[in-house]
Amino acid sequence: MRQYTYGPFKSRRLGLSLGVDILPKNKLCTYNCVYCEIGPTNKVVSPKCRIKAPPSFNYSRELKDILKYVPHLDSITLGYNGEPTLNENLLDFYTITKNVRDLLKWDKKPPQITLFTNSSTLYSDEIRERVKYFDLVLAKLDSAVDVDFQKTNQPHQECPSLDVIINSLEKLKREMKPNKLAIQCLIYNSNRKDFISNNNNENINQLAYALKKINPDIIQIYSIARIPSEPFVFAIDEERKREIVKIIKKTINNDLIKIDYY
Ligand code: SF4
């Protein structure tokens, strides 16, 4: 029976990806995003919350058992049931994953080891120190205007301000070289008149300035693709994604930053 892994499945952003969940089975997150695809967060936790959930001996065996059947895998991806950086044993998972990956034979280049994070804990030097080893970090930044941040991500009251989050992403980018930082911005619409979504021009413009400051390797603009936590939110269309990419491109004015949309 599998304890840690999901898939592999075809991911819009990562190619063929094996998911690894390093948190306890109940969702553990510092946010309660209106669009979350794994449902509402029952108890939103502080970014200071730490859990100790070290990998069991089974983790290495489970990985080896699966990976030998997928020599064409593109990514081993940590983070599916909330915010993985809350687990103090993140680096133990990374080390075992890397050791197993480096032992096996691959059809093309070995899969990258990827981490999802919602960015709320990255103000902590200790956490950035763990995160920087991953080949690719996919960090969330959906808003650069506080009112949109509060509505969209519904952060725990002890989550840092947007300024602190943006500064910590900028620091992480410098610290994790030559590994890659991708900033993921999920933009959505709302059909409730009293709920303006993050798809407003003020937010998109501020987001573009924040992205320029962070200077990531990759920017990913995407939208809702599965059933969201709240029924009143829905995906933006392809044309709007292209418009947003255009605005961001113009502001950052840096061809070294890859901008994708999904
Ligand atoms: S940060 Fe991720 S897991 Fe947490 S509520 Fe938002 S989308 Fe869901």
Residue 21 CA to residue 257 CA, distance in Å, equals 29
Q: Which residues pair with 214 in a beta bridge?
A: none
At 21, the pLDDT band (50, 70, 90 cuts) reads: very high
pLDDT in tens, 54-102: 999 999 999 999 999 999 999 999 998 899 999 999 999 999 999 999 9
At 112, the pLDDT band (50, 70, 90 cuts) reads: very high
Helix (H, G, I), strand (E, B) or coil at 78: strand
Residue 29 has a pLDDT of: 97
pLDDT in tens, 241-255: 999 999 999 999 999
Helix (H, G, I), strand (E, B) or coil at 212: helix
* pTM check: above 0.85: yes
Q: Which of 31, 115, 119 to mutate to test the pocket of ligand 1 (most atoms within 8 A of CB)?
A: 31
Q: For ligand 1, is residue 82 a contact (CB within 6 Å)?
A: yes
Residue 51 CA to residue 204 CA, distance in Å, equals 35
37 pLDDT above the threshold of 90: yes
Residue count of the chain: 262
Query: Where residue 254 sits, what CATH number does that domain have?
Result: 3.20.20.70
Closest CA to 199 of 243, 230, 231: 243
The lowest-confidence range among 20-29, 139-148, 214-223 is 20-29
Residue 186 CA to residue 234 CA, distance in Å, equals 11
45: left (phi over 0), alpha (psi -120 to 50) or beta: beta
Q: For ligand 1, is residue 32 a contact (CB within 6 Å)?
A: yes
Q: For ligand 1, is residue 31 a contact (CB within 6 Å)?
A: yes
Q: How many Å lie between the centroid of ligand 1 and the Cα of residue 50? A: 17
Which residue has the least CA distance to atom 8 on ligand 1?
36
Residue 21 CA to residue 245 CA, distance in Å, equals 31
Closest CA to 74 of 129, 123, 136, 14: 14
Q: For ligand 1, is residue 36 a contact (CB within 6 Å)?
A: yes
- Paired sense of beta strands 15-20 and 5-11, if any: antiparallel
pLDDT in tens, 199-220: 999 999 999 999 999 999 999 9
Q: Which of 22, 26, 28, 41 to mutate to test the pocket of ligand 1 (most atoms within 8 A of CB)?
A: 41
Range of the domain at 234: 5-261
Domain count, the chain: 1
Q: For ligand 1, is residue 86 a contact (CB within 6 Å)?
A: no
